[in-house]
Structure 1
């Protein structure tokens, strides 16, 4: 409309979008490999959300920034190893630009040439609770999710080098809009889980971390990482990345300022995953809370704030099981009233347990998977995915490069043939509480304690060694299935 009124040709995104909402949703819910949507958000007001604009909207409100060293260690820089400050976006912008005014203030102890800062995982509904009109700047309805806006999204603002440790999300699939600057994504398929050495220490609900420092892997201690298949892509402004369920990802900012917005799309498979998460929470909290607190093991991610009681964890587990059973009964009821052709229901229409990926046995011993039906009809349907200039596959890097070549081999967005509920949102986690951080200028110890560091020779097994085995995704999945069998499901 704007282009027609001004007499100029419509800019990309102002005209007809390459996919209808229905087709975009079909792709999101069925595609089991990462892909980049182009030319789908050109008319979204959120594309104008630069730091200056957001600072005006926040009107002096402070938000929490996580600070880490730019040096790349053999040990992942988990959130427990970072420092935190409360600052305004104006202070962040001045610091990231190296302005002299930053000699005082929250960032004064951190040299921007040595440190990065990240305001990550900020619920838009919370930080802009007094400006709900801004929610409509984000229109996930274009991807087939009517009513989903900024209210169900999170905001990420970082400086160059800011990164998220390699992990997978237990719930949902992920849609990520790049707004400003570029981010490089290193993605690994669910089948590579054992190559990534999963761990739940530090513990964070719905996040399974990798012990491997993807940017600088320690192949002596993690030799199986050589077998991992990295899919690397650089996401540019105006592009939307689809991260399918249970794909591992390490994300790093490669421009001076980066801004992105994401929303996790709920899936039927989340019901079973929530039971597994509840079991994991019970085991981790019970065992780590019983350990001597003077050991100094930073096992709880700052986002979790505190270890919940055994009673609360048991209640959480029962709620998750009840929700799973309710969904199963609903599914059975729907199937009883469906016709004989009902077996060809679309992905996501039923809560029924799906078949697992190829190579996974029905006895429950499986790797973390996408959770969708790999029937012949579904395979044929996936072959019809309209890859092209508007939907770019994130392909694996050449096998001979190995994981060590992840940084060098990538699909840079500049080269792509395209242009540029309140508390129950995001990854469906429990409510995140604000962490009260010290004003101390000193970083936590950059060497992990003996429980967590792969580089420390151990003369005896630690609590974390036991936990790594007990809460391994394979084990937790088997326990969850045995537990659900007791319910008669």
Structure 2
């Protein structure tokens, strides 16, 4: 007999937790939660939606017992205030067990062992991008402890999730995810989130170096920005919130985010939700991969470590990347074909229904094409906004003052998809209505214009400078659309 998720040894709550299954009534039904997620255009925190999840008890101590001494990879960064982001290419790495991490994190720095070269007072550790399917490959029952189906995604659980465990100060550089939207469940400790809307992309100085598939990084350390070098960052609209245990943060598509651990130990679980726009985004990412790998390997064929993120383990050969691009384009056209068939069937059914009801088909269809969809979308948005309250808290715009590094907290109110052939097709991200970035062409020109105060030694154009222009998110989008149009005659 298959054991239920709440009855497994690996996911059982600690003794005395006292939670009686079935007593808690969630503030939103799965259908309503999904409706909110698919319509909301700003980050928000869901409260009281995961109180009965077994995963709420997965502290680092508990997980160390579940993993039984299994080694995982920790990224090691410096506890320092610098204007330069700590990209993953500049960090050290350690293979260690969670038990060894917890011992080190208690400031019991050993004279030997995996953390011997890292003084706890000077370094933080982050076990990030730990995919459940590989981390718990021999304990698949644990997948059922994460119940994303409560948010309207049937069958989605830990199998489509990623685990993050860090010490105080551990963080991810500011970036946006090319695919999908994001749901983040905070298990242990607190994390401070700095978020910026997609329209502010020109003010975040996007770059694809270091290269990580589906991640667009910012050149700015958003908690200590160099405004002389990046003056337009002062126009960015920062939304900040502290995510507490038990809460679930919703991050909409293409919102920039910088995430830092502000407690001694933090544990969080996330899942990227697939969106319809991801089909074109995968074409854009394939174009990006080809250009980055071609130019950077031509620049230095023997040194990928300087520009390729350690999370990227796939081949960087031009042949492999071209196959990736062709698969992405083919998948997009397959999606178009399927969508048209479904749309045609829906229209036929709709017409037949309206004929039976004696309605004017042409007038009804004209209303749908000229504004009916926008009207219905507007109603959904209004309904989502009206639900803000104690169980759905918006992440609001904050003041321009930055948080200090001494622990003050500013609060709001509140990766891989594998095709059938086994080859890489992008992180398992992501179906939401498209929200075009409303940046003006002037902003793009301004972004790429040289700084009038630039010293002569800085005027030499590097490969990275060229890539920053070629792979600006808006430029890549235009290139992908032209490429798709050029092949649409075959469709």
Q: Distance in 2 between matches of 1:148 and 1:455?
A: 53
- Secondary structure, in 3 states, of the residue corresponding to 2:272? strand
Q: Which residue of 2 aligns with 1:154?
A: 162
Give deviations 1:150-203, integer Å, cap 9, x for gaps: 111000000000000000000111000000000000000000000000000000
Quote how far apart the aligned CAs of 1:48 are: 0.7
Give deviations 1:65-107, integer Å, cap 9, x for gaps: 000001021110000010001000010000000125x221010
User: Aligned ranges for residues 31-430 of structure 1 at < 5 Å?
Assistant: 31-100=40-109, 102-293=110-301, 298-305=306-313, 307-339=315-347, 375-385=374-384, 386-398=387-399, 401=400, 410-411=410-411, 416=414, 424=418, 429=426
The answer to whether the 8 Å contact 1:13/1:39 transfers is no
The answer to whether the 8 Å contact 2:46/2:247 transfers is yes
Q: Which residue of 1 aligns with 2:26?
A: 17
CA gap 1:219/1:13 in 2 versus in 1, 3 angstroms: farther
Q: Distance in 2 between matches of 1:339 and 1:307?
A: 45
Quote how far apart the aligned CAs of 1:402 are: 6.1
CA gap 1:422/1:284 in 2 versus in 1, 3 angstroms: closer
Quote how far apart the aligned CAs of 1:377 are: 2.6
Q: Distance in 1 between matches of 2:273 and 2:300?
A: 39
The answer to whether the 8 Å contact 1:217/1:404 transfers is no
The answer to whether the 8 Å contact 1:50/1:259 transfers is yes
- Secondary structure, in 3 states, of the residue corresponding to 1:84? strand
Give deviations 1:378-419, integer Å, cap 9, x for gaps: 122211111110000001113xx266899967326xx74xxx
Quote how far apart the aligned CAs of 1:339 are: 3.1
- Secondary structure, in 3 states, of the residue corresponding to 1:74? coil
Higher helix content, 1 or 2 = 2
Greater gyration radius: 2
Q: Which residue of 2 aligns with 1:350?
A: none
TM-score, normalization by structure 1: 0.81
The answer to whether the 8 Å contact 2:175/2:217 transfers is yes
CA gap 1:430/1:41 in 2 versus in 1, 3 angstroms: closer
Quote how far apart the aligned CAs of 1:29 are: 1.4
The answer to whether the 8 Å contact 2:282/2:426 transfers is no
- Secondary structure, in 3 states, of the residue corresponding to 2:311? helix
Q: Which residue of 1 aligns with 2:465?
A: 465
Q: Which residue of 1 aligns with 2:14?
A: none
Q: Distance in 2 between matches of 1:28 and 1:132?
A: 28
Give deviations 1:425-469, integer Å, cap 9, x for gaps: 9x97359xxxxxxxxxxxxxxxxxxxxxx9995241111111111
Q: Distance in 2 between matches of 1:341 and 1:198?
A: 46
Q: Which residue of 2 aligns with 1:346?
A: none
- Secondary structure, in 3 states, of the residue corresponding to 1:193? helix
Q: Distance in 2 between matches of 1:165 and 1:455?
A: 27
- Secondary structure, in 3 states, of the residue corresponding to 1:15? coil
Quote how far apart the aligned CAs of 1:118 are: 0.2
Q: Distance in 2 between matches of 1:255 and 1:456?
A: 44
Q: Which has the higher mean CA deviation after the structures are superposed, 189-198 or 289-298?
A: 289-298
TM-score, normalization by structure 2: 0.80
Quote how far apart the aligned CAs of 1:10 are: 7.0
- Secondary structure, in 3 states, of the residue corresponding to 1:200? strand
CA gap 1:27/1:460 in 2 versus in 1, 3 angstroms: same
Quote how far apart the aligned CAs of 1:255 are: 0.1
Q: Distance in 2 between matches of 1:305 and 1:330?
A: 32
The answer to whether the 8 Å contact 1:335/1:342 transfers is no
Q: Distance in 1 between matches of 2:462 and 2:469?
A: 11
The answer to whether the 8 Å contact 1:300/1:307 transfers is no
Q: Distance in 2 between matches of 1:298 and 1:85?
A: 19
CA gap 1:455/1:167 in 2 versus in 1, 3 angstroms: farther
The answer to whether the 8 Å contact 2:416/2:427 transfers is no
Length, aligned pairs only: 423
The answer to whether the 8 Å contact 1:171/1:428 transfers is no
Q: Distance in 2 between matches of 1:253 and 1:13?
A: 33
- Secondary structure, in 3 states, of the residue corresponding to 2:487? coil
